[in-house]
Amino acid sequence: MAQVTIIVGSMYGNAENLALKVQETMQSQGVTSTVLMNATIDDVTKADNLLFITSTTGQGDLPDNIQPVFSQMQAQFPMLTGKKVGVIGLGDTSYGDTYCGAGKQLYALIEELNAALPVPMLEVDACEYFDPWEVAEAWLTTWVTKLR
């Protein structure tokens, strides 16, 4: 059975709520997962598969709870070769150039770390979707098929 470590970056709970919905849905598809609100580099290196779900705050910045693991990944550069990774970025196009900046920073770093990214990052625009699940459900279905 596939195992996924879900690493969440969230300021006000939207990304966290989405992560819990993702976990519940994957469970019903036979994929077990752990949701981490304060992940560390060890969680990243030990994971079989990784799913990052993060909002963007400030001006294209990572939420406070995911910044530490991002900084550790930048500093220690752990190769993620062989791990399947997905990124869901929550943002708002009304922020212009910094739209989904946190997810984009993560995705770029993960590419550099040589992870398998079988599905491009999902960008969820709060202007378009009141509930991120509306668009995340289909993306997740595709991503989960790539774990097998």
Ligand X SMILES: Cc1cc2nc3c(=O)[nH]c(=O)nc-3n(C[C@H](O)[C@H](O)[C@H](O)COP(=O)(O)O)c2cc1C
Kindly list the residues in this chain that would bind ligand X in the complex (CB under 6 A): 10-15, 55-60, 63, 90-92, 95, 98-101, 126
Are the C-beta atoms of residues 89 and 125 closer than 8 Å to each other? no
Residue nearest to ligand X (CB): 91
Taking the complex as a whole, the smallest distance from the CB of residue 30 to ligand X amounts, in Å, to 27
Are the C-beta atoms of residues 33 and 23 closer than 8 Å to each other? yes
Taking the complex as a whole, the smallest distance from the CB of residue 76 to ligand X amounts, in Å, to 26
List the one residue out of 69, 112, 111, 63 whose CA is nearest residue 87.
Answer: 111
CA 107 to chain centre: 9
Which C-beta is closer to ligand X: that of 9 or that of 143? 9
Taking the complex as a whole, the smallest distance from the CB of residue 68 to ligand X amounts, in Å, to 16
Which C-beta is closer to ligand X: that of 81 or that of 94? 94
50 beta partners: 5, 85
Which C-beta is closer to ligand X: that of 92 or that of 111? 92
Find the largest Cα–Cα distance for the chain. 41
Which C-beta is closer to ligand X: that of 106 or that of 147? 106
Taking the complex as a whole, the smallest distance from the CB of residue 49 to ligand X amounts, in Å, to 22
Q: How far apart are CA 101 and CA 107, in angstroms?
A: 10
Residue type, 141: T
